[in-house]
Amino acid sequence: MGERTRYEPGMFCWVGLATPDPAGSKAFYTSETTLNSRRLVVRRVRTLDRQGELLPCWELFPFATNRTDALATVEAEHRQHAVVELCIRDLKDQALAHFPSGKFTANAAWTVIACLAHNLLRWTSLLGLPGHTIRAARTLRRRLLALPGRLTRTARRWTLHLAARWPWQHAFAEALSRIRALPAA
């Protein structure tokens, strides 16, 4: 990665930049090249599968830009933009799929409610399941909100009976206990 490879003399060359993550492991590398004031940046990320170090695989994430800022700044803003795109995808998958209604005020109210629901779902995931990274809101809804159970009331007390073989029963119970343990504001 650290060597230069010339495809056209003096005009097009890759510059490999070894940029290990802060933990010290070499988890990703970044390479860039410039041609006609356009910049191509390729981030190579090492992902580990179930077998860990035995069969490592690499994923490539390229993007083109005309910005001349430092590579770290450009790449961080690009990754941040990708997070925003995931949020927009989640919102379109949920409530924004019902647009437009024909009335501006109805669309405005629907957008606010959709954003509130999305933020509540993400905060529930962040506070309830801190070690888990679940990317799609659809997965969170399926695992935390769509419960296969019964809600019963006995002696003025509500009880939730979950299915015995539901695969996310322990994750739901853990999230519920963590959220209940939060101090009142």
DSSP 46-112: EEEETTEEEEEEEEEEEEEE---S-HHHHHHHHHHHHHHHHHHHHHHHTGGGG---S-HHHHHHHHH
The residue with greater pLDDT, 39 or 135, is 39
Torsion 125-129-133-134 (CA) sign: negative
Nearest residue to 179 (alpha-carbon basis) of 121, 137, 133, 114:
121
Q: Is the pLDDT of residue 87 over 50?
A: yes
The residue with greater pLDDT, 178 or 36, is 178
Query: What mean pLDDT comes out for the span 45-65?
Result: 74
What is the pLDDT confidence band of residue 130, given thresholds at 50, 70 and 90?
confident
Asked if residues 42 and 30 have their Cβ atoms less than 8 Å apart, the reply is: yes
pLDDT for position 50 = 65
169 vs 163: CA distance, rounded Å: 8
Q: Is the pLDDT of residue 33 over 60?
A: yes
Torsion 119-124-130-131 (CA) sign: negative
117 vs 137: CA distance, rounded Å: 10
29 vs 41: CA distance, rounded Å: 11
185 vs 182: CA distance, rounded Å: 9
Averaged pLDDT of the chain: 78
The residue with greater pLDDT, 61 or 151, is 151
pLDDT for position 52 = 61
pLDDT for position 53 = 66
Angle (CA) 145-151-156 rounded to 5° is 130
Asked if residues 47 and 20 have their Cβ atoms less than 8 Å apart, the reply is: no
The residue with greater pLDDT, 30 or 4, is 30
What is the pLDDT confidence band of residue 181, given thresholds at 50, 70 and 90?
very high
Q: Is the pLDDT of residue 177 over 80?
A: yes
The residue type found at 95 is A
